[in-house]
Amino acid sequence: MIKKNPVNIIITGVGGQGNVLASRVLAGMLVSAGYFVTIGETFGMSQRGGSVMSHLRISRQSVLSPQIPGGRADIIIALEPVEALRVLTKYGNPQTVILANEREVYPIGVITGELNYPSSQIIKEKFDKYSAKNWFIDATSAAVKLGNPILSNIIMVGALSATKQLPIDRRAFQREIKKDMTADKQKINLAAFDAGVGMI
Amino acid sequence: MSNLLSPANKVVLYMGNEAIARGALEAGVNVACGYPGTPSSEVVESLSKVTTERNLYVEWSTNEKVALEVAAAASFASLRSLCVMKQNGVNVASDFLLHLTASGTRGGLVLVTCEDPGALSSVNEGESRYFARMLEIPLLEPATFQEAKDMTKWAFELSEKIHNVVMLRSVTRLSHASGNVICGRLPAKNSKAHFDYSGSMMDPLRGPVVSTPVVPKHTIQQKKLAETANLFEKILCNYYEGPKKPELLVITSSACYLYSREAIGMLGLQKRVGILKLGSTWPLPPQLLKKHLKAAGKVLIVEEVLSFLEENVKTLYAGCAKEIGVKAFYGKNDGTIPSVGELNPDIVAAALGKIFRIKYKPVADDYAHAMQEIEKIIPLRQQTFCAGCPHRASYWNINAALKLDGRAGIVCGDIGCYTLGALTPANGFNTVRTSHSMGSGTGIASGFAKLDAFGLKNPILSVCGDSTFYHAAIPALINARHNNANLTMIVLDNSGTAMTGFQPHPGLCSGASGETLPAIDIAEIARGIGAEVAICDPFDLEKTTAQLTTFMEKADTVKVLILRQICALSPEKKGKKKYLMKVNEELCRGEECGCNRLCTRIFRCPALVWDKVKKKAVVDEVICAGCGVCYSICPQKAITKTEAPPQ
């Protein structure tokens, strides 16, 4: 069962990190569990190196606005740490929980030396102070170990299931990826899911 | 099996665009075509995967005007057809559309326009609702995923009823959002094409399809539109939610309905505010509007981009004001709703707050204040070319050649990822000086190149993507050649319509559904027009820069330089590195080097990072695509490349 109605989830990261797939898989599991799910996303030009967000809203009764109102996120899942902060400042509240990947993807302004990127210590400190609960995991390293950094998105989904914030589990994940992944892909994604579970 | 073929009554998670596609399938569509453009592309793309199962022909047409012509032919032959484009595409198709709405159609023809309020993935936030009013055709605007499917299906029936095009408008927040949809039945596949032209000119189903005689046909079109307004009085997608006598009536449509509903809830105004949700926004159903306007003293119109709905509601109100009394109107015209950008629940809540004098606070002041403080330490994330993007190398070459040439060459831009070349130095080296519609870069360049007589002596260049070349740049190139406008056109050929998701174009040998088709070569077209043509790999910096410099020196002819390198995100390239890149820390002289951090400060690849502690450049192996270009830019040869093992 979902803990409140609706549950508002934001999956964030940088274009190309697999945000869309993570939101689709998660939403698919929840639709199969009988919920109304609304996902709000943008793709195309907006993803070229920019910040990306998927807004997921899980409800017992109806579809909802594809944009979550400010301050109303219940769960933030971030494939990139500073993006977790960015989303927190706009959509966070003291009850928000955060699951974030530790691995930074530097904005171009940081690469050029014009902008500063906050240290992971400072980021963690903000999470501790301004969220109800947070998990900060190195999903990218685990994904590299599995052979492909892109798998960090599924590792995060696995980790999310282990946090018990949503009614999703390994079986539901397996059923969901069976729908349109080849056997090879299912295997590696399941391994990523399990790796994520192990990180919580 | 594609999700799109799910059995009746199944609950499926569809993206808005998939819901539109499913609706078309449930209507028995036979021909679907369009030109890719965000946020519209997934409609045609998802249909292209079910052509065999659904007796369907799907085509990525050269441009939107041709797409509408192809769809019209199917309609004339009594088949149902769907034509899909983004808002800018309707402008491209509008010349034909004007004539098509005058001649009328036969088999149901639905024109889907997916628009982009706030220009999330566009260079403008133009809108096409006014076309529906100007061309006197019905306009439908679904608000939910279920409606997107159901209304698309119904739009075909309506089109056949009035013998004309029906326009269905979506927006990014519906097209690219996803939600639950209950599937309907997929019909039997038994349609046969038959084009009858034996009847009289006035026979809409059996005569030749022409707009003449104009006035009698125009009269019929208007009569049909009036009948449509009557029909709209009772359709399911137009409904009212709220108290019998609301203090405020919100009139809205599209995704704005969901924002409005949420905003009313956020402010706890459910007992004071009602929503008249319109799924059909042109022509407006007069009786329905009158009834609800009468019940409320205040009216707020919630819509995105221009004040289309507001104007039409007010016009209708003017006709019955005496009868229903004085109303206070709020909306875009009085500034209650912002006049630009997309809306969201917070913006609508703010508008309601103004009217009801309620201050809405999502979080406590101290939390909000803390968040404002955190914002200050978050670095801005600007858009940029991806790691391994051929455009970064192309602009590097263009800049090098401009510098070598030394005559302040002017580069005119076009539409694609490479439009980023128009932005500040952070993206694409600030190279492109004009950026407008598809193909316009070369047209503008053609004009600039004729201004030498008036003292504009700068060399003139244009950049243009491969798909854009076919879409609208060919007439401009012909114009340049015929008029001796001796520009240099640079075709950034990354082998597909990359920005929208690698849809094929006429330069490739496969079609929308993977069928083999003859490819039409850009170089051959350019040579046929009489241009001097060269083809380079932009990753080969030395050769490409030299070729471009040579071309710029040649003042007596039109030159076309094709820079051929596949997009780094293309399925054949993605995740496969050609080279393993590394910075040799001993050779990198860091801040001491005379290059002034050329690699990180100017080249600006997301994978080539300035390490502030070591004061050296470093390659981020997770992000690096292994294109090998940075090897060529380091004056110290500190960036090394080795062949990557086969993957």
Each residue's pLDDT tens digit, B404-444: 999 999 999 999 989 888 876 544 568 999 999 999 999 99
- Closest CB from A86, A94, A108 relative to B384: A108
Which residues of B fall within a CB distance of 8 Å from A48?
Answer: 383-386, 417, 420
- Which of B15, B367, B378 should one mutate to test binding to chain A, selecting the residue with the greatest count of A CBs within 10 A? B378
Structure tokens at A190: 């399941």
Cβ contact B500–A44 (<8 Å): yes
Q: Does B317 score more than 60 pLDDT?
A: yes
Q: Which residue of A has its CA nearest to B119?
A: A46
Which residues of A fall within a CB distance of 8 Å from B383?
Answer: 45-46, 48-50
Which residues of A fall within a CB distance of 8 Å from B381?
Answer: 14, 49-51, 82-83, 86, 107-109
pLDDT in tens, B507-532: 999 999 999 999 999 999 999 999 99
Which residues of A fall within a CB distance of 8 Å from B304?
Answer: none
Cβ contact B380–A92 (<8 Å): no
Cβ contact A49–B500 (<8 Å): no
pLDDT in tens, B109-161: 999 999 999 998 888 998 999 999 999 999 999 999 999 999 999 999 999 99
Asked whether residue B87 is assigned to any structural domain, the reply reads: yes
The alpha carbon of residue A129 is apart from the nearest alpha carbon of chain B, in Å, by 10
Distance CA B419, CA B122 (A): 10
**Per-residue pLDDT at B177:** 96
Instruction: Kindly state whether residues B531 and B401 are assigned to the same domain.
Output: yes
Which residues of A fall within a CB distance of 8 Å from B266?
Answer: 69
Of A84 and B423, the structure prediction assigns the larger pLDDT to A84
Domain end point (choices B200, B232, B264): B232
Asked whether residue B376 is assigned to any structural domain, the reply reads: no
pLDDT in tens, B599-639: 888 888 989 988 888 889 999 988 899 999 999 999 999 99
Cα B59 → chain centroid: 17
Q: Which residue of A has its CA nearest to B501?
A: A44
Instruction: Kindly state whether residues B334 and B198 are assigned to the same domain.
Output: no
The alpha carbon of residue A142 is apart from the nearest alpha carbon of chain B, in Å, by 12
Cβ contact A93–B380 (<8 Å): no
Question: Coil, strand, or helix at residue B450?
Answer: helix
Arithmetic mean of pLDDT over chain B: 95
Distance CA B263, CA B272 (A): 13
B473, amino acid identity: A
Which residues of A fall within a CB distance of 8 Å from B347?
Answer: none
Q: Which residue of B has its CA nearest to A31?
A: B13
**Of B552, B382, B93, residue with least CA distance to B544:** B552
Which residues of A fall within a CB distance of 8 Å from B40?
Answer: none
**Of A26, A16, A11, residue with least CA distance to A169:** A26
Q: Does A171 score more than 90 pLDDT?
A: yes
Residue B8 belongs to domain with CATH number? 3.40.50.970
Count how many domains chain B has: 4
Which residues of B fall within a CB distance of 8 Å from A45?
Answer: 38, 120-122, 383, 417, 419, 499
In whole angstroms, how far apart are CA B362 and each of A40, B33, B263, B344, B416? 20, 44, 12, 14, 38
Cβ contact B174–A90 (<8 Å): no
**Per-residue pLDDT at B426:** 46
Instruction: Kindly state whether residues B493 and B511 are assigned to the same domain.
Output: yes
Q: H or E segment at B475?
A: helix B474-482
Residue B636 belongs to domain with CATH number? 3.30.70.20
Q: Which residue of A has its CA nearest to B597?
A: A112
pLDDT in tens, B464-504: 999 999 999 999 999 999 999 999 999 999 998 888 888 99
Asked whether residue B366 is assigned to any structural domain, the reply reads: no
Cβ contact A70–B13 (<8 Å): no
Domain end point (choices B533, B564, B595): B564
Instruction: Kindly state whether residues B558 and B625 are assigned to the same domain.
Output: no
Cβ contact B121–A45 (<8 Å): yes
**B140 with B277: CB under 8 angstroms?**
no
The alpha carbon of residue B616 is apart from the nearest alpha carbon of chain A, in Å, by 11
Asked whether residue B515 is assigned to any structural domain, the reply reads: yes
**B241 with B277: CB under 8 angstroms?**
yes
Instruction: Kindly state whether residues B33 and B65 are assigned to the same domain.
Output: yes
- Closest CB from A63, A72, A113 relative to B144: A63
Cβ contact B374–A148 (<8 Å): no
- Which of B116, B374, B423, B576 should one mutate to test binding to chain A, selecting the residue with the greatest count of A CBs within 10 A? B374
Q: Does A45 score more than 70 pLDDT?
A: no
Taking residues A30-50, what's their average pLDDT? 82
User: Distance between terminal CA atoms of chain B?
Assistant: 29
Q: Which residue of B has its CA nearest to A88?
A: B371
Which residues of B fall within a CB distance of 8 Å from A15?
Answer: 386
**Per-residue pLDDT at A16:** 83
The alpha carbon of residue B419 is apart from the nearest alpha carbon of chain A, in Å, by 10
- Closest CB from B261, B370, B417 relative to A48: B417
Distance CA B149, CA B162 (A): 21
Cβ contact A144–B622 (<8 Å): yes
Domain end point (choices B504, B531, B564): B564
Cα B326 → chain centroid: 41
Distance CA B320, CA B327 (A): 11
Cα angle value B137/B139/B141 (rounded, 5°): 170
**A113 with B616: CB under 8 angstroms?**
no
Cβ contact A107–B382 (<8 Å): yes
Q: Does A62 score more than 60 pLDDT?
A: yes
Q: Does B1 score more than 70 pLDDT?
A: no
Cβ contact B367–A64 (<8 Å): no
Q: Which residue of A has its CA nearest to B364?
A: A93
**Per-residue pLDDT at A114:** 86
Instruction: Kindly state whether residues B287 and B398 are assigned to the same domain.
Output: no
Cβ contact B173–A69 (<8 Å): no
Q: Which residue of B has its CA nearest to A13?
A: B381
Instruction: Kindly state whether residues B633 and B527 are assigned to the same domain.
Output: no
Asked whether residue B370 is assigned to any structural domain, the reply reads: no
Cβ contact A66–B349 (<8 Å): no
> Residue A116's pLDDT band (boundaries 50, 70, 90)?
very high
Tell me chain A's radius of gyration from C-alpha atoms.
Answer: 16
Distance CA B99, CA B61 (A): 19
Q: Which residue of B has its CA nearest to A40?
A: B177
> Residue B379's pLDDT band (boundaries 50, 70, 90)?
very high
Instruction: Kindly state whether residues B67 and B140 are assigned to the same domain.
Output: yes
**B427 with B383: CB under 8 angstroms?**
yes
Phi, psi of B221 (to 5 degrees): -60, -45
Q: Does B380 score more than 70 pLDDT?
A: yes
Range of B626's domain?
A: 579-643
E strands, A72-154, where? 75-78, 97-101, 133-137
**Per-residue pLDDT at A1:** 81
For B100-162, the DSSP string reads: HHHH--SS-EEEEEEE-TT-TTSS-----HHHHHHHT--EE---SHHHHHHHHHHHHHHHHHH
Taking residues A90-100, what's their average pLDDT? 98
- Closest CB from B370, B385, B420 relative to A130: B370
Instruction: Kindly state whether residues B265 and B222 are assigned to the same domain.
Output: no
**Per-residue pLDDT at B575:** 78
Domains of chain A by start residue, with CATH? 7-104+119-198 (3.40.920.10)
Instruction: Kindly state whether residues B211 and B253 are assigned to the same domain.
Output: no
Q: Which residue of B has its CA nearest to A73?
A: B362
Residue B325 belongs to domain with CATH number? 3.40.50.920
Q: Which residue of A has its CA nearest to B255?
A: A65
Instruction: Kindly state whether residues B227 and B248 are assigned to the same domain.
Output: no
Asked whether residue B617 is assigned to any structural domain, the reply reads: yes
Instruction: Kindly state whether residues B82 and B59 are assigned to the same domain.
Output: yes
Asked whether residue B571 is assigned to any structural domain, the reply reads: no
**Per-residue pLDDT at B297:** 96
Asked whether residue B449 is assigned to any structural domain, the reply reads: yes
